[in-house]
Amino acid sequence: MGKEIERKFLVKGDAWRGLAKPVKYRQGYLSTVKERTVRVRTVDAAGYLTIKGVTTGVTRVEYEYEIPAAQADEMLTGLCEKPLIEKTRRTIELGGLTWEVDEFFGDNQGLIVAEVELKSADQEIVKPDWVGPEVSGDPRYFNSNLIKLPFTKW
């Protein structure tokens, strides 16, 4: 069983922008029920199908599979709930941790969050200066909820 342990934070300032190249992400959801989310995503020219379980604290089960990009595009266009999530991601390695900074566009324009994946829920982290308040426990920031109530409508 795959497991995801991550914490999520708001981002402040622009110092993070020059630390990594942005990669375009487009994603949608086939299921957004609390017990399981099923996500379709394209990352540049690759496609992915991801199934995630219920979040408990900062941990949840996760299974991810690469699929043909053309099939992912078909699912995003024809099957996924709307609006789709459009964002760029910068992957930044700092202090032995990998930070993923997502800058959202479209209906979620203006939202910028940083996620860090951990080895354990109690792992100590040192936040870079551009990392602001933690929002891990706030479900409004889950991508699967941003299609239901986009950031621009808060």
25 carries an active-site annotation: no
Q: Across the strands, what pairs with 36?
A: 33
Catalytic residue among 29, 48, 63, 141: 29
Q: What residues have CB less than 8 Å from 124, skipping those under 6 apart? A: none
* Enzyme catalytic residues: 29
